[in-house]
Structure 1
Amino acid sequence: MHESTILPLDTLPIQPATMANSLGRTVVIAPHPDDESLGCGGLMALLRAAQVPVAAVLVTDGTMSHPNSQKFPPAARRALREAEFADALRILGVEPTASLLLRLPDGATSNLGPEAVEAAVASLVRYLTEWKPATIVVPWRRDPHPDHRTTSRLVHAAVARLPNPPRVLEYLVWAWERAAPADLPRLDEVTGWRLDISAVTAQKQQAIAAHRSQIEGVIDDDPAGFQLAPQMLVHFARPYEVYLEALPLTTATT
């Protein structure tokens, strides 16, 4: 892909924190526990500070972060990561009981069969129909992690079934570190902006830190287990978050 066709993420226009208020009732979709805080923690904190209702959907069970742990077998890993997810939401001012846990297999969502896909989409449709968000925030459609891409497809399939589809914004997580040129947003498919979150950066960092199993080595018996590297976390310590929105009549696909 030619560089001139890539949306310049680091020079997108800055929108003031008050812009968040215009999004209305918002649902944030997280493929894994921690994606909500990394990608959208500032937005959620700003929305709740303005008393705008916010909820979250957690798509996978998070168990593949440390698949070889004996101290934390799969059920314990899921419980730990869901507890961290709930703690992060509380820090951001979001009531965890408003969240939806789909508990799809971590690291294997791209292998779901038709029945499992239909069940996940139907669950999302029921939840969104009940919650009636004005805005849904989902992972960037080509974020370079299979679970992130599957999450995008599931959410867009659910939105297509809603009689009054909400606005859909996209956020980046792994694209900051691992994106190939073809993964990056193009000028002909999306527009974007940087949301000023400087007023709530400390709150966002506290929410990220709540995911202790991903940062502090809480699960210490799987040397090959996943940890968020310091160089990765730098991308989420900035005083802004990037949001993308499909251009009208775009024909781009995921």
Structure 2
Amino acid sequence: MDVVARHIAGSGVSEAQWQACGWLDAVPVCEVATLLAGRSRLVVVSPHPDDEVLACGGLMAATQALGLPVVVMSVTDGEACYPGQSAWPPQRLRRARQQELTRALDCLGVSDGERHALHIDDGAVAGSEAALAMYLLTVLRADDLVLGPWRLDAHPDHEAVGRACALAAASRGCMLREYPVWGWHWLDPQDAPRAWASATRFPLSAPLMERKRAAIAQFSTQLGAVDGLECDPILPPSVVQRFERDYEVLIG
């Protein structure tokens, strides 16, 4: 469906507003094992290092625990997140964010899995969208489950990656589910039943949540837990709250 006025601004919709809307409680529940039935791998495609952990870190850890391999693909290195911050120029952020992802995947128990880093320029994925879809076709198998960002997530990189995932998954004939990241920030909860009519909730056990929280904590640059950062972090507590629920939501 088309969602109008998509933009990321301000502090966004609070977690309290999401919890009060009632829609989350009404979303159908499915176990991770059911989602993965008949699949041989989970392939998670992320616009920036941290998106995959925030949106589906619990699903990744659960998949590994069920004995299925997890393939993690980072489209960009997230190096453009703090423009104008002299202590954190793009080259330093490239290294730091990949290192943070390595530690996060270790927390989730998936550090030994297949990993791809495409190093497409942060903020410029749309210009490489066709090439990304072609690359995905070389990686995907028909019996994969692909998790990609929601195609209407409002961040241009997220939307471009989402479109590329949809094209490649359809061409390869594999299952696709989409995960919102910034959609939680800007979407009016009253519009969620229409925008996310095909949403499903996947419950996470206490041990999985512990792993996910530890993984999120590895993204020090995004949380602002680093020296020399003279601006607000990308992931203040109000944003992180949306990803600390004891379930994760996929669309499709």
Q: Give me the TM-score of the superposition, normalised by structure 1.
A: 0.81
8 Å contact from structure 2 (residues 97, 221) kept in 1: yes
Distance in 1 (CA, whole Å) between partners of 2:112 and 2:85 is 27
Distance in 1 (CA, whole Å) between partners of 2:33 and 2:64 is 12
8 Å contact from structure 2 (residues 23, 192) kept in 1: no
8 Å contact from structure 2 (residues 147, 177) kept in 1: yes
The answer for the alignment partner of 2:144 in structure 1 is: 134
Give unmatched runs, 5+ long, in structure 1: 2-6, 246-254
The answer for the alignment partner of 2:34 in structure 1 is: 19
8 Å contact from structure 1 (residues 142, 183) kept in 2: no
Instruction: Name segments (4+ residues, structure 1) moved above 6 Å.
Output: none
CA RMSD between the two structures: 2.5
Tell me how far 1:99 sits from its aligned partner: 1.2
Residues 194-233 of structure 1 aligned to structure 2 (within 5 Å): 194-199=201-206, 200-218=208-226, 220-224=227-231, 226-233=233-240
The answer for the alignment partner of 1:147 in structure 2 is: 157
Per-residue CA distance 1:2-59 (angstroms, 9 max, x = gap): xxxxx94442022234335425411011111111111001101111111111111111
Distance in 1 (CA, whole Å) between partners of 2:143 and 2:118 is 18
Distance in 1 (CA, whole Å) between partners of 2:118 and 2:188 is 29
Distance in 2 (CA, whole Å) between partners of 1:214 and 1:39 is 15
Shift of the 85–212 alpha-carbon distance from structure 1 to 2, 3 Å rule, reads same
8 Å contact from structure 1 (residues 108, 147) kept in 2: yes
Distance in 1 (CA, whole Å) between partners of 2:97 and 2:143 is 25
The answer for the alignment partner of 1:177 in structure 2 is: 185
Distance in 1 (CA, whole Å) between partners of 2:161 and 2:190 is 19
Distance in 1 (CA, whole Å) between partners of 2:204 and 2:245 is 8
Distance in 2 (CA, whole Å) between partners of 1:63 and 1:14 is 36
Distance in 1 (CA, whole Å) between partners of 2:200 and 2:155 is 23
Correspondence for 1:33 among 31, 35, 49: 49
8 Å contact from structure 1 (residues 26, 55) kept in 2: yes
The answer for the alignment partner of 1:4 in structure 2 is: none
The answer for the alignment partner of 1:68 in structure 2 is: 84
Distance in 2 (CA, whole Å) between partners of 1:183 and 1:59 is 29
Give unmatched runs, 5+ long, in structure 2: 4-21
The answer for the alignment partner of 2:12 in structure 1 is: none
Distance in 2 (CA, whole Å) between partners of 1:119 and 1:183 is 33
Per-residue CA distance 1:144-203 (angstroms, 9 max, x = gap): 2111111111112222432xx11001111111111258985737x852211011231111
Deviates more, 1:152-161 or 1:194-203: 152-161
8 Å contact from structure 2 (residues 129, 160) kept in 1: no
Secondary structure class of the residue paired with 1:56: strand
Distance in 2 (CA, whole Å) between partners of 1:24 and 1:97 is 13
The answer for the alignment partner of 2:167 in structure 1 is: 157
Correspondence for 2:110 among 79, 91, 94: 94
Distance in 2 (CA, whole Å) between partners of 1:137 and 1:68 is 32
8 Å contact from structure 2 (residues 36, 145) kept in 1: no
Distance in 2 (CA, whole Å) between partners of 1:147 and 1:183 is 23
Distance in 2 (CA, whole Å) between partners of 1:191 and 1:54 is 24
Amino acid at match of 2:247: Y
